[in-house]
Chains A and B, each alone.
Chain A
Amino acid sequence: MKRRDFLGGVGAVGATGALAAPSLLTMTGRAMAQGNDIPVGLLFSLTGAVAVVESTLHDAALMAIEEINAEGGVHGRQLRPIIEDPASDPATYADRARRLMIRDKCVSVFGSYTSASRQAVLPVTEQRKNLYWYPTLYEGRECSRNVMYGGAVPNQQQDDLIPWAIENFGPRFFMIGNNYVYPKEENNYCKTLLEEYGGEVVNEEYVPLGHSDFSSVINRIRSEQPDVIFATVVGDSDVAFARQYHAAELDPAKMPVVSLTRSEVEVKAIGGEAAAGHFSSAPYFMGHNTPENEKFVEAYKARYGADTVTHFVSEAAYFQVYQFKAALEKLDPGNITPEAIRDAAVGLTLNAPQGEVLIDENLHTHLWSKIGQWQANGQAEVLVESSERIAPKPYAAYDGQSCTGEGLVKA
């Protein structure tokens, strides 16, 4: 961790200097590759507030690139990763994206965890007609033709989850989230599902980002006695919430927390004991049993340390690089443009660690829905797994709007 952060910091100062190194090294072996490699941008924060998560996405994406290069690249051409550190600041994301797309002539940029940073990059990538690969689950309501969305939108996480939760625990939902767009949109969609399946919202509450004292929220949960705590609390707030929930001795068997945001990373910080018994809904869990996942987890641990974890966002950051590679392979090597890559990517299927994923014509990804129960060892046991892939509907909560291959269509 520390070495990588340091390299990231150095990378931000002398980006090209440090980053030319991998291609220089490969040049000696394959003189042909020189000047003929394919520049791709990596735009994940290695410093600042969101670096905790984004550095793991960076690691996963970089690992995929190097795996591809080690196997001979694409059409004999190596991928040349160009790393920028936007330091968790949305304005810097836009600036660095511009640099990657104009100066470095990247044909694609992989990056971002938060919606704020994606939206900062959006005008740049649309103006330059470039392609931005975004691996995170997000709130939907977006339909750019220049962003490849690798994470789940609300319907992909909730369609199976809500009826299952009502059936198993009861209809009374207590919504708790951080106060920004993602939790509000998720809750918005959850309410339409609750209406459909006969559930109700007993309380809907938002705490500021970074909020760390949940004693009043927990008092309210105690007095309301809901059946399900529907949580969209993120990052450190979620860690504090889970620990205080456990310390208050609220029983997960009676009032389970069902989270859309809690992954292996948060559980590691919460501690398995406090996280055990609660649930998460996600397309991927680290313990998932496929040969692709075994390979992914093994390679990741071998490279970054045996105590590191993979999670549903780093998995997407990893498989999106392979989707990019598969799209490139379909193209004429002499004519690679971001838009050609996008068109080649539509309809692609790929065996990702979570299972076979498909890129929809609306550029979102068909994913597998899973509901996992956290165990004391920090891993999730998958209780429910969807029998088929769930199609992405970024406008599911909005009647008459849908995201299609031609962009947003309003009825």
Chain B
Amino acid sequence: MDVIANQLFAGLSMASILLMIALGLAIIYGAMGVINLAHGEFVMLGAYATWALQTFWGIGILPALPLVFLAVAVVGWVIEKAVVQKLYHRPLDTILATWGIGIILQQAVRLGIGAESRFVRGPDLLSGNTQIGPLIMSNYRMFVIVFSVAVLYGTWLLMTRTEFGMKLRAVIQNRGISECYGIEAKRIYSFTFAYGAGLAGVAGALITPLFSTIPTMGTGLVVDAFLVVIVGGLGSLIGAASAAVLIGEATALFSLVINDTLGRIAVLAGIILLIRFRPRGLFPTETRR
């Protein structure tokens, strides 16, 4: 029983990391229909930005979060303006273009900073564990869980309670008509892409104390994030959240029952089955393009 409780917590922790990475991807895809294969590299840039802030300016992870968000958002904004914007009517080309951008970013970091793994110190404030009965929870992992829920809520507020969100939803529903009403769809798209990129950067910053910071770290993460987005239903926030929890917990429980290698296979097989019966994911959004 103790093992199961601890394993459920581990699953929740994995889910929170998955959610942080997938959220940006889900927003970009849901709003713009752009499959952003450079998303993993945004995560990696976030991790390296955290490393740079800590190593050169002595800024810890927590105060660095808003700076990292801004820095990666700016990178995303520039990429959207320079490349993605020219390709809105050619979805296949955006896949290729963002993939290429991903490779460029990865190699740029490798050449500019070096290929070896970098060390980022975790926040002292959140070191240690909290024990409730048999359940032992790492404080840092708990923080990531709370933080990801907060970001999810914040994003939901942004989408539903602000003028920007209203415009974005209008553009998603019908771009032509919204433009007739004076909404500048281009600008909305740029901000959305930048916001998604910024979220990826924050995700990268959050995982640095747990994972190893290397130029290729994004490649594996983006695959998991895509799984979350596909299972959750394209572009749905609540879908992304529930899919992240589902995949995280499934991974944790399978790896408890069998082991990590076979557990991974079982999770992927489960996802294939799910897509077979719900091809548009758990919570598909009704949109018109």
C-alpha spacing A221/B118, complex, angstroms: 27
Contacting B127 at CB < 8 Å: which of A247, A266, A271?
A247
In the complex, the answer to whether B119 meets A219 with C-beta atoms within 8 Å is: no
Contact A247/B122 with A2-B112, A5-B115, A222-B136 known, Cβ cut-off 8 Å: yes
Q: Is the CB of B2 within 8 A of A247?
A: no
Point out the residues of chain B lying under 8 angstroms from A236, CB to CB.
117, 211-212, 214, 217
> Which residue from chain B places its CB closest to the CB of A207 in the assembled complex?
B260
The reply to whether B252 and A215 form a contact with Cβ atoms under 8 Å apart is yes
- A181 adjacent to chain B (CB < 8 Å): no
A55 to B110, CA, bound (A): 12
Does B6 lie within 8 Å of A240, measured CB to CB? no
Q: In the complex, are the beta carbons of A243 and B111 less than 8 A apart?
A: no
Q: Mark A208-242, 1 if CB is under 8 A from B, else 0.
A: 10111101110110110000000000001101100
Assembly CA distance A217 to B256 (angstroms): 9
**Number of A residues contacting the other chain (C-beta, 8 Å)?**
40
Q: Is the CB of B114 within 8 A of A219?
A: no
Asked whether, in the complex, the Cβ of A249 is within 8 Å of the Cβ of B129, the reply is: yes
A169 contacts the other chain (CB 8 A): no
**Which residues of B lie under 8 Å from residue A212 when comparing CB positions?**
210-212, 217, 220
Query: Are B113's CB and A2's CB within 8 A?
Result: yes
Please tell me if the beta carbons of B216 and A271 are within 8 angstroms of each other in the complex.
Answer: no
A219 touches B115 (CB 8 A): no
Residue B7 lies at the interface, judged by CB distance under 8 Å to chain A: yes
Contact call B210/A244, Cβ cutoff below 8 A: yes
Q: Is the interface of A mostly helix, strand, loop or mixed?
A: helix
> In B6-63, which residues have CB < 8 Å from any A CB?
6-7, 10, 13-14, 17
For the complex formed, measure the closest distance between the CB of B265 and the CB atoms of chain A, giving whole angstroms. 10
Whether B115 pairs with A211 at a CB distance below 8 angstroms is no
Q: How many residues of B are counted as interface, with CB atoms below 8 angstroms from the partner's CB atoms?
A: 44
Complexed CA–CA distance, A49 and B128 (Å): 33
Kindly state whether residue B155 has any CB partner on chain A within 8 Å: no
CB distance from B267 to the nearest CB of A (A): 12
Chain B nearest CB, measured from A194 CB (Å): 20
B119 near A268 (CB under 8 angstroms)? yes
A222 to B220, CA, bound (A): 27
The reply to whether A1 and B115 contact each other, CB–CB distance below 8 Å, is yes
* A52 within 8 A of partner (CB): yes
Residues of B within 8 A of A244 (CB): 210
Cβ–Cβ contact B138 & A248, under 8 A: yes
Whether A52 contacts B252 in the complex (CB less than 8 A), given A2-B111, A207-B260, A212-B220, comes out as no
Q: Output the residue of B13, B122, B259, B264 with the most chain A CB within 10 A.
A: B259
Q: Is the Cβ of B111 less than 8 Å from the Cβ of A206?
A: no
Point out the residues of chain A lying under 8 angstroms from B110, CB to CB: 5, 47, 51
Cβ of A6 under 8 Å from chain B: yes
CA distance in complex: A206, B255 (Å): 11
Please pick, from A55, A207, A213, A220, the residue contacting B261 in the complex, using a CB distance under 8 A.
Answer: A207
Contact A208 B115 (CB under 8 A): no
Q: Are B128 and A217 in contact (CB under 8 A)?
A: no
Shortest CB-to-CB span from A46 to chain B, Å, is: 9
- Say yes or no: is A92 at the interface (Cβ < 8 Å to chain B): no
Contact between chains at B10 and A271 (CB < 8 Å): no
> Is A326 part of the binding interface, using a Cβ–Cβ cutoff of 8 Å?
no
Alpha-carbon distance A244/B207, docked complex (angstroms): 11
Residue of B nearest to A242 (CB): B212
How far does the alpha carbon of A215 sit from the alpha carbon of B142 in the complex, in Å? 13
Instruction: Tell me whether A211 and B117 are in contact in the complex, defined as CB-CB below 8 angstroms, given that A216-B10, A219-B10, A240-B212 are known contacts.
Output: no
Say yes or no: A215 contacts B10, CB within 8 Å. yes
Q: Is the CB of A205 within 8 A of B259?
A: yes
Task: Give the residue name and chain of the B residue nearest to A5 (CB).
Answer: B111
Closest to B207 in A: A212
Select which of A52, A216, A219, A237 is within 8 A of B116 by beta carbon: A52
Inside 8 A of B216's CB, which chain A residues have their CB?
A: 49
Which of B117, B209, B264 has the largest count of A CB atoms less than 10 A from its CB? B117
Tell me, rounded to whole Å, the shortest Cβ–Cβ distance linking A213 to chain B. 6
Contact between B3 and A1, CB atoms less than 8 A apart? no
- Which residues between 195 and 243 of chain B lie within 8 Å of chain A, taking CB atoms? 209-214, 216-217, 220
CB of A223, distance to nearest CB on chain B (Å): 5
Instruction: Tell yes or no: B161 within 8 A of A by CB.
Output: no
**CA A211 to CA B2, docked complex, whole Å:** 24
Q: Determine whether the beta carbon of B119 is less than 8 Å from that of A271.
A: yes
Instruction: Establish whether residues B138 and A247, one from each chain, have CB atoms under 8 Å apart when the complex forms.
Output: yes
Say whether A40 faces chain B, with CB atoms less than 8 Å apart.
no
Q: Is B121 an interface residue (CB 8 A)?
A: yes
Check if A215 sits within 8 Å of B260, measured CB to CB. no
Do A240 and B210 have beta carbons less than 8 Å apart?
yes
Closest chain B residue, CB of each to CB of A211: B260
- Whether B7 pairs with A219 at a CB distance below 8 angstroms is yes
Question: Contact string, A1-16, partner B, CB cutoff 8 A, digits 1/0?
Answer: 1100110000000000
The answer to whether the Cβ of A269 comes within 8 Å of any Cβ in the partner chain is yes
- Check if B140 is an interface residue, CB within 8 A of chain A: yes
| Contact call B113/A269, Cβ cutoff below 8 A | no
Q: Please report the C-alpha to C-alpha distance between residue A63 and residue B102 in the assembled complex, in whole angstroms.
A: 34
Q: Which of B17, B115, B216, B252 has the most CB of A within 10 A?
A: B115
**Footprint of A on B, CB under 8 Å?**
2-3, 6-7, 10, 13-14, 17, 110-119, 121-122, 127-129, 136, 138, 140-141, 209-214, 216-217, 220, 252, 255-256, 259-261, 263-264
A-B residue pairs, 6 tightest by C-beta: A269-B117, A215-B10, A239-B212, A1-B114, A236-B212, A216-B255
Q: List 12 A-B contacts (CB under 8 A).
A: A49-B216, A55-B115, A205-B260, A212-B211, A219-B10, A223-B3, A236-B212, A240-B211, A248-B138, A268-B116, A269-B212, A269-B213
Apart from A208-B264, A212-B210, what 6 extra A-B contacts exist at CB < 8 Å? A52-B117, A205-B259, A206-B259, A208-B260, A219-B7, A239-B211
